[in-house]
Structure 1
Amino acid sequence: MNILIVYGTTEGQTGKIAARTATRIRERGHQVELRDSAAPASDLKLGHFDAFIIAASVHQEHHQETVTNFVFAHHDALSNKPSAFISVSLSAALGDQKTQAQKYVDQFVSVTEWQPSMTLLLGGALRFNKYDYFQEQFVKFVVMKSGDPSPERDHEFTDWNALADFADRFLETAG
C-alpha cells in the first residue's frame, strides 16, 4: 500500500509524530510519503496513493490553517479512500480535558466536511523554550490547573504505544 502522511506542526511534536507513524508503516512493508503542509507542494499528485493520514496540532483552539487548506483542496481524494486524522493537543493529554480535545476534532470535521475513517486524539508536548511570554503564561496556567507535571520544564505527553496501535489498526482497515 502507498500512503501519504500530511502534517502540520508548530513546535515540532506533530512532525515527530508523523515521522514515527511513517516509520511504523514502513516497518509493516508499506510505502510512505511524508509531507509538511506548510511546504509548497504543487507537484503533489494524490491519485497514486491508496490511503491518507493527516496529522495536525491544536493551537488557540484550532488546527493549523495549512492542514485545513490541504483538506479543503483535496477533499474528494481524502473522502474516497481510507483516511485517518491524528489530532495533537495538550487537551488530549490532560484527563479532565479529553472532551475539549474531541470538540477540536468535531469542529475540524464540521468545517472541512471531511469524515476520516479513523481518528486519534494524542497528547503533544510542552516546549517552553519555543513559547513567547504570553504563551508560556497560558500554558503554565492550564498545566497548574490540571495538576499535571511541572510547568517549569519541557514535557512530552505523546503516548507512543497508542500511536503505534493506531497505525497498525489503520493498516488493517485500509488494506
Structure 2
Amino acid sequence: MARIALVYGTTEGQTATIAERMADVLARAGHEPTLYHAEHLPADFSLSDYEAVVVGASVHLGSHQEYVTRFVADHVDDLNRLPAAFFSVSLTAAEGSDEAWATARSLLEDFLAETGWEPDATAVVPGALKYSQYGTLKRFVMKRIAKRAGGGTDTSQNYEYTDWDEVESFAAAFGDALD
C-alpha cells in the first residue's frame, strides 16, 4: 500500500472536508494518507517521502488559491514523476448545466497549463455556499450570484452541493490504480 500526501488549499473549509473524506477512503483501502494544508506545510515536507500525491484547491474569483498554484509549480517535477491526482472545487460546477461544467473544467485545465502539471487523474467537485462564514459584503455578492444560478439564497443557512459519492469514487479509483 502507498504513502500518499494529500495537499489542499481551502478558504471556507469545503476543500478541507473533501480532502478529509478522500483520506478516509484511501485509508480504508489500506493506504497511508497524510493531510497537509498547502499554506502551512512543515519545514521538512518533501514529496520524496511519498509514493503518490493528491492535490486539491478551490476556485475563487476564477482562480485557484495562489499558494496551491505556487506549491504545484514549485514541486512540478515530483508531481509529474509520482502517481498523482488533482481535484478542483468549484461553485460553478454546482449549477449543473453543461456550460457551467465546461467553465469549471476549463478553470481546472488552465491551472494545469499554468503550472505544467500532468496528473494521472482529475476531478471537478461542486463546492458549498457557506454563508455563515462570509462577511457582509461577500454574503451579499454570493447571494446575488446564487440567485442568478438558481442556488440557495437564504443566508441564514449554508448549502452543500458536493456529491460525496463522486468524491469517494474518485478517491477509490485513484487508490485502486496504486495497487
> Would the TM-score normalized by the shorter structure come out above 0.5?
yes
SS of 2:148's equivalent? helix
Once the two structures are superposed, what CA deviation does each residue of 1:79-133 show, in whole Å capped at 9, x if it has no partner? 0111100100101111121111111101101110101111111011111122123
* 1:58-77 alignment runs, 5 A limit: 58-77=59-78
For the 8 Å contact 1:7–1:36, the answer to whether it is kept is: yes
2: CA distance, partners of 1:134 / 1:69: 28
Q: Which residue of 1 aligns with 2:90?
A: 89
Take 1:142 and 1:124, find their aligned partners in 2: how far apart are those partners? 14
1:151 shift after superposition: 4.1
Code of the aligned partner of 1:156: E
Match of 1:165 in 2: 169
- The answer (yes or no) to whether the contact 1:54–1:86 under 8 Å persists in 2 is yes
Q: Give, in whole Å, the separation in 1 of the partners of 2:40 and 2:160.
A: 25
**1:23 counterpart SS class:** helix
Counterpart-to-counterpart distance in 2, 1:38 and 1:164: 25
CA distance in 1, matches of 2:134, 2:79: 33
Q: Matches of 1:143 and 1:151 in 2, distance apart?
A: 10
Aligned-partner SS, 2:49: coil
What is the aligned-residue RMSD (CA, Å)? 1.2
Conserved in 2, the CA contact under 8 Å of 1:143 and 1:151? Answer: no
Shift of 1:142: 1.8
Q: How many residues are aligned here?
A: 175
- Give the residue type in structure 2 aligned to 1:155: Y
Task: Please name the residue that 2:120 is paired with.
Answer: 117
Residue 174 of structure 1, CA deviation: 2.7
Q: How does 1:96-135 map to 2 (within 5 A)?
A: 96=97, 97-135=100-138
SS at match of 1:38: helix
Does residue 149 of the first structure (1) align with residue 152 of the second (2)?
yes
Q: Give unmatched runs, 5+ long, in structure 1.
A: none
Cα distance between partner residues in 2 of 1:40 and 1:151: 36
State the distance in 1 between where 2:87 and 2:41 align: 21
- After TM superposition, give the deviation of residue 148 of structure 1 in Å: 2.7
Aligned with 1:171: secondary structure?
helix
Look up the SS of the partner of 2:35 in the other structure: strand
The answer for the alignment partner of 2:42 in structure 1 is 41
Post-superposition shift, 1:173? 1.9
Alignment identity in percent?
36
Tell me the alpha carbon deviations over residues 34-73 of structure 1, each in whole angstroms, 9 at most, x when there is no partner.
Answer: 1001104320121131111001011111111111111011
| Structure 2: unaligned runs, 5 residues or longer | none
